[in-house]
Structure 1
């Protein structure tokens, strides 16, 4: 299929023109040289990043671009524009290497990022990160909440609902088994109660407080522990201090990758209208979980 035709549909279906996102802090010299100018417009860092072909023969959906992912494509659409390492010694988001750029060019791989648009709540052929994770853990959704922020005040990214679990410890055990990952916890009480879900980087005091104000006693997100990046060193201690002031709410961290990958998997029916589509499980990301 013609790349231009796909881009027109993505622009419309994901409302890309009206979404603001800032990744300028990750733009190194290589990125400036390889990326297309339209992606680098101020606060418009969504959409096509790298164009290496005018044709689309297959779409791959994935969490983020990295060497493992590109080599998988070489052997046989992404959410984030940059790879992520949230482990204790990790640096958070990671610059794309020259080796990876060469693989993209050699294999004529174009990269399209839908970071913020995939967080916008929707549950049809396109499944947002929160709805994808809610489906995975069995959340019966009752309402939506949590605006993305001042940049996108009308973009709602959180869900509130109910789980079958009543006991908090039992819920944590179930999630750990389901995700094959020992979830991180900040326990306040034994009851699960009303549950809020905000995937990925939802460890935000204002959002957690909003969930508590809406009667939630359990809050599930991705990242709740620090990594070794300068951003984390500068911001995590204050964030943790503010979160601890919010009384009566349990917090569960299920990792960035394991809360957000489901959107790319469950949205395959949407992308298949253009051409054959495949989700790639990022085994490299599984080794760098928080």
Structure 2
């Protein structure tokens, strides 16, 4: 067993989430999804979490016996966590709420969705902990969503994308010569997806790639990567398939860019692209640093 505060301290030491401060995305999205259903998230979630929107979201017993790792708190993930856990166990996720980005060959998604309150009450009753880490897990160059992908491809980081004062979410990499087709096949195998969302130009010889895990469907970032010499852009989402005005506007904007880009654009799903760091770097980090068993909670369907 390991004390919860020791785990929290180690995470903050590596990812500096307290220094980084309030998460710009979920400080908006958590109120957006919970306020309309009249769920008192400010009372139910840990006080520090309601200010930072990273860190310990639910506090269970102080002695942690097992770590569970997931990307989104889908019903499937939470049902497994609740049924397979014991009091004090910790669920570590990248997102505190679900994001349905849609399926390029199926239904469009609903965007951000709150955790159903009955799951929150079940986890509290069982004295389980939930910890989430969003942008700090994207920024770190030691353990991060995009770097885990680059490492899996044997790529060398030579630059950064999507930068702000706190860090960068994307990376520019040199890679052994490959092709668009090889990247597509390799991506479907690496992320265990039935198909990738492929747009843009097909290349036979690629030596420089951009990697932006998660929502990389940002035209301005793609333009930046192209100017930096990237021949392929690997991301969670190429097209936004969120079924609302915002999603449809982004979809049309991307269509215009795709018509003139010189890059291969390959999307592997938001959730799958961010799961890799959990299954590789984070799993190893938790096991080495705390000698605790780690259980992975993958989604059965990545394109949602």
TM-score by length of structure 2 reads: 0.82
Per-residue CA deviation, residues 226-259 of structure 1 (Å, 9 max, x unaligned), is 3334364364135415633753111111111121
Residue in structure 2 matching 1:106, options 79, 100, 125 = 125
SS in 2 for 1:171: helix
Identify the residue that residue 95 of structure 1 maps to in structure 2.
Answer: 114
Q: Does 1:50 align with 2:58?
A: yes
Report the alpha carbon displacement of residue 197 of structure 1 after superposing the two structures with TM: 0.7
Q: Distance in 1 between matches of 2:190 and 2:168?
A: 26
Report the alpha carbon displacement of residue 68 of structure 1 after superposing the two structures with TM: 1.9
Identify the residue that residue 174 of structure 1 maps to in structure 2.
Answer: 186
SS in 1 for 2:109: coil
Q: Distance in 1 between matches of 2:120 and 2:265?
A: 39
Identify the residue that residue 160 of structure 2 maps to in structure 1.
Answer: 145
Runs (5+) with no aligned partner, structure 2: 85-91
Q: Does 1:75 align with 2:90?
A: no
After superposition, where does 1:111-260 map in structure 2 within 5 Å? Answer: 111-123=130-142, 127-136=143-152, 138-148=153-163, 152-164=164-176, 166-181=178-193, 182-191=195-204, 192-230=206-244, 232-233=246-247, 235-237=249-251, 239-241=253-255, 243-244=257-258, 247-260=261-274
Are the counterparts in 2 of residues 199 and 256 from structure 1 also a CA contact under 8 Å?
yes
Deviates more, 1:68-77 or 1:164-173: 164-173
SS in 2 for 1:227: coil
Are the counterparts in 1 of residues 156 and 174 from structure 2 also a CA contact under 8 Å?
yes
Residues 1:156 and 1:85: Cα distance change in structure 2 (over 3 Å): same
Where is the strand percentage greater, Structure 1 or Structure 2?
2
Q: Distance in 2 between matches of 1:129 and 1:80?
A: 12
Deviates more, 1:56-65 or 1:159-168: 159-168
Runs (5+) with no aligned partner, structure 1: none
Equivalenced residue count is 279
Q: Distance in 2 between matches of 1:166 and 1:3?
A: 44
Per-residue CA deviation, residues 68-120 of structure 1 (Å, 9 max, x unaligned), is 22222233211111123222332122101022112211321111111111111
Are the counterparts in 1 of residues 100 and 109 from structure 2 also a CA contact under 8 Å?
yes
Q: Report the aligned-residue RMSD.
A: 2.4
Q: Distance in 2 between matches of 1:40 and 1:245?
A: 42
Report the alpha carbon displacement of residue 5 of structure 1 after superposing the two structures with TM: 2.8
Residues 1:175 and 1:4: Cα distance change in structure 2 (over 3 Å): closer
TM-score by length of structure 1 reads: 0.86
Per-residue CA deviation, residues 204-228 of structure 1 (Å, 9 max, x unaligned), is 1221112111111111100122333
Identify the residue that residue 23 of structure 2 maps to in structure 1.
Answer: 21
Per-residue CA deviation, residues 117-173 of structure 1 (Å, 9 max, x unaligned), is 1111423xxx2111211233x24214131144xxx4240222222444533233323
Are the counterparts in 2 of residues 188 and 248 from structure 1 also a CA contact under 8 Å?
yes
